[in-house]
Amino acid sequence: MQDTREESIKKLNDLIEEMEIAMLTTIDGGVLRSRPMQTQDFEFDGSLWFFTSSNTHKAEELEKDNRVNVSYAAPGDNTYVSVSGTGAIVKDRAKIDEHWSDIYKAWFPKGKDSPDLVLLKVAVEQAEYWDSSSNTIVQVAGFLKALVTGERGGGGENEKINL
């Protein structure tokens, strides 16, 4: 099973590593809202990580309902990824130091010591993708072999995986 899980994580990593922007959907008082998130150079290991500010609506929203979706779209490559999980704001100093780059000063002018600089961690529970080998979008889809459970997705419009 371990190899399968590792392969699937690698596949997901390969799919999303070129995508600079993800759309993060949260639940805001019953309303689903999404916003663009700059993706960062974190290797996907079962969680997705983003730099963000603690002074945002999404931080408040996650306290009330932590369910999120992170979607990646590359229409030019006909590749789409949906990642489902739970989001949490964490202030992990070591991780911030490790991944900080001065290019993020565009968002955090005070650098990595900006008091509002935090990490958004998305613990991934399930992911699906549609990739460029598909010649139509609605009917076909990529596949992701099940990881932890070893079970395959249920078919239908595409297959999915539980992490």
Q: Which residues bind its own copies (CB under 8 A)?
A: 20-21, 23, 25, 27, 30-38, 52-53, 56-58, 67-69, 71, 73, 75, 80, 82, 84, 106-107, 125-126, 128, 130, 135-139, 156-158, 160
Nearer to its own copies, 2 or 136 (CB): 136
Nearer to its own copies, 6 or 63 (CB): 63
Q: How far is the CB of 89 from its own copies (least distance, A)?
A: 14
113 CB contacts (<8 Å, ≥6 apart)?
none
The percent helix, strand, coil of the chain (3-state, each to 5) is 25, 35, 40
C-alpha dihedral sign at 19, 124, 119, 61: positive
User: Alpha-carbon distance 45 to 10, whole Å?
Assistant: 9
Q: How far is the CB of 39 from its own copies (least distance, A)?
A: 10
Nearer to its own copies, 6 or 91 (CB): 91
